[in-house]
Homo-oligomer: A and B are copies of this chain.
Amino acid sequence: MEPVRRRRAVLHEARCQTCSLSSLCLPLSLEMEDMDQFDAIIRRRAPLKKGEHLFRQGDDFTSVYAVRSGSLKQITSEGAGVDQLTNFYLPSELVGLDAIDERHYPGSVIALETTTVCEIPFDRLDQLSEKLPELRNQLYRSMSKELRDDRRMMRLLSRKTADQRLASFLVKLSDRFRRRGYSPYSFRLSMPRADIGSYLGLAVETVSRIVSRFQAQEILAVSGREVQILNMAKLQQFAEEEDVS
Contact = CB atoms under 8 A, between A and B. Distances in A.
Interface of A: 76, 78-82, 84, 86-87, 97-102, 106-107, 126, 129-130, 133, 136-137, 139-148, 150-155, 157-159, 200-201, 240-244
Contact of A148 (B79, B102, B136): B102
Contacts of A101: 140-142, 144-145, 148
Contacts of A98: 144, 147-148, 151
In the complex, the count of this chain's copies comes to: 2
Please classify the interface of chain A as helix (H, G, I), strand (E, B), loop, or mixed, using the class held by over half of its residues.
Answer: helix
Most buried by B among A82, A151, A159: A151
Contacts of A244: 80-81
B144 A147 contact: no
A242 B141 contact: no
A143 B102 CA distance: 12
